Amino acid sequence: MAATRACLVSLVVALAFLFFFEGTAGVSEQDLRQSPDGDIFDCVPVSKQPAFDNPLLKNHTIQMRPFYHPGGLYDDSNNVLHPITQTWHQNGRCPENSVPIRRTKEEDVLRASLVNWYGKKRPKNILKLYPVSSDVTSGHQHAVASSSLDKYYGTKITTNLWKPTTETAQDFSLTQLWIIAGSYGNNDLNTIEAGWQVYPAMYGDANPRLFIYWTSDAYQKTGCYNLFCSGFVQTNEQIAIGGSLSPQSVYGGSQYEFDILIWKDPTGGNWWLQVGSTIVGYWPSSIFSYLASSASYVQWGGEVYSPPNAGQTSTQMGSGHFPSEWYGKASYIRNIQVVDSSSYLRLPNGLGLIHQWPNCYNVQNGTSSNEWGTYIFYGGPGRNSKCP
């Protein structure tokens, strides 16, 4: 058994390294950037990134800019209170016509509980939130808001950044948005996901990091975190997906935040990602089935994962404090908007809340007439006297 596992680990590591270095062939030493937290980023030519190993993108023509940007946006320069940055910028940025790709190390892969699922979500452990449901699978806990009364072509949020603690290295804590179509029942669920997460088993540290995810078959075989597999096409050199974010919000003090906008370009058909004022890249519509047209659900909020059968975790969600503590102490997502069929950003209708164990993690929503618009406060400490 031990020998079999050793062989498996060696094979997976070898394949991972082969995939990575083939994808970055021709990158010279001056095209490396090292982050103060130890990450190494390769500045890879746009046309050499992992996206184009996807057979569906064999003859894909790179679209460097969207044809259309949704209307109705607040002025980004005035909307964010205290903006965040990425730590790797301290050592320079990549040149134009290249993209920063975080280098996967051998210890990253070996740290995973199942090395063949490194960089992926395991479908049997995913909470079936689509459509809104109270069903729960082992290990996952959520505090989210959901809207499902229309067809959707994107969403925009402003979220504050925290550094939640995790009970074990295998636990994760994240804040994200979901853009969803299809169903679990037919194994054809399509999702586009983006946000920030703390995930020691994946990254080797407890830093909050920018992440993305996608799937077109209910997490069975397609999709992955960040750029660990083909699919997402990055077009900008400024943002490193998987890179650390700083500074974090302070309990009772300054709140540091950033915007995420995802929308479907009505002309090109691709789903574009914007972080702050930077357009990062896109998910080609050809890698999806239902999302090639539109989304049926949009969700926003927090998620915590701990290994199944481990009992209630003390991993924090968001700030680790309940939403009732409100601004400056609890996590929030504000200025929640959805993109309609006219490619215009508007307030969502019919917001529903999902919180399986409100004494562990909870969510509250509200609406304001100022730049907060539709918002939620969410999070919690996990295990406590009322959450055994």
pLDDT in tens, 71-82: 876 545 456 778
Query: Which of 24-28, 32-36, 121-125, 129-133 is most confident?
Result: 32-36
Strands 140-147 and 352-355 come out as antiparallel
Dihedral sign, Cα of residue 262, residue 53, residue 230, residue 121 = positive
Is residue 1's pLDDT more than 90? no
Domains of the chain plus CATH, in order, are 140-387 (2.60.120.1270)
Cα–Cα dist 68/140, whole Å: 37
User: Buried (b) or exposed (e) across 97-122, using 16+ Cβ within 10 A?
Assistant: ebbbbbbbbeebbebbeebeebbbbe
User: Which has more confidence, 101 or 115?
Assistant: 101
- The answer, yes or no, to whether residue 126 has pLDDT greater than 80, is no
What is the average pLDDT across 167-173?
94
Q: Are 352 and 344 in contact (CB under 8 A)?
A: no
Contacts of 6 (CB under 8 A, 6+ apart): none
From CA 371, how far away is CA 380, in angstroms rounded? 25
* Mean pLDDT confidence for 168-193: 94
Q: H or E stretch including 365?
A: strand 362-367
> Which of 279, 247, 205, 196 shows the shortest CA–CA distance to 86?
247
pLDDT at position 72: 79
Residues carrying an active site annotation: 193, 303
256-264/82-83 β-pairing: parallel
Q: What is the average pLDDT across 294-319?
A: 93
